[in-house]
Homo-oligomer: A and B are copies of this chain.
Amino acid sequence: MAPRLTTSSYAILALLAIQPWTAYELTQQATRSLRFAWPKSERLLYSEPKKLVDHGLATTHDKPIGKRTRAVYTITGEGRAALQAWMTTSPEPPALEAEALLRLLFAENGSTDDLISALDTMARDAAEMYEQVATINSGYLDGRHPFPERTHLSALFATFQLELFDLMMKWVEYAKAEIATWPDTEGLGMTDRTEAILNSIKERQSVLGPHETP
């Protein structure tokens, strides 16, 4: 029996709905475009198209490249139907995995310098991801989108990614300013500032304050 279809299977199926690809092209495309919405290992991405074939949602034909032959995957009618059906189902809640935040929660076991460098790493990662997304999307203005008819989707998605990375960078700045007032990482408990933070939470006010739009 073929392994069951997962969300990752539908992600690959949706790529096949755009055009036929080889397994390698699929992994490249998935890594580039899905990295920030559905991050999966290259290894998995290679296996998924085979599973789609087992389920009859895609077919392969061999295309000769040089001396060897490469499998090109094409979506079937059944595949398109399965994809449309999936689009009507309800998505799982978003989940964030952030090791730097773990370091904050357990900061008492290290120095303030350890904590600050963990947060700096997170901010640098966010800045790098911001640059990548901003650069690629700016290119779309010069017609560099591989599928121009899909630009409206990519651009709207990009707004989320950039707001998220921006939030991470701004929050790290805020957190570092707060931590700078700590004599140490442990045993502070309810400081005046902590009380102020908790009050702003109770009043549902943003601690980062208003965005400036430059």
Known: A88-B110, A96-B96. A162 touches B201 (CB 8 A): yes
Q: Inside 8 A of A51's CB, which chain B residues have their CB?
A: none
Task: Please encode chain A, from 127 to 148, with 1 for each CB lying within 8 Å of some chain B CB and 0 for all others.
Answer: 0010000100110110001001
Count of chain A residues near B, Cβ 8 A = 105
**How long is the Cα–Cα vector from A163 to B38 in the complex, in angstroms?**
21
A199 at the interface (CB under 8 A from B): yes
* Chain A binding surface SS class: helix
Interfacial chain B residues near A201, Cβ < 8 Å: 134, 137-138, 155, 158-159, 162
Determine the distance from Cα of A137 to Cα of B83 in the docked complex, in whole angstroms.
41
**What's the nearest-Cβ distance from chain B to residue A57, in Å?**
13
Within A147-177, which residues are at the interface with B (CB < 8 Å)?
Answer: 148-160, 162-164, 166-168, 171, 174-175
Complex Cα distance, B94 from A148, in Å, reads 30
Comparing A19-27, A65-73, A189-197, the segment that makes contact with chain B is A189-197
> A residues near B, CB below 8 A?
7, 10-11, 14, 17, 33-34, 36-39, 80, 83-84, 87-88, 90-111, 114-115, 117-118, 121-122, 125-126, 129, 134, 137-138, 140-141, 145, 148-160, 162-164, 166-168, 171, 174-175, 178-179, 182, 185-191, 193-195, 197-199, 201-214
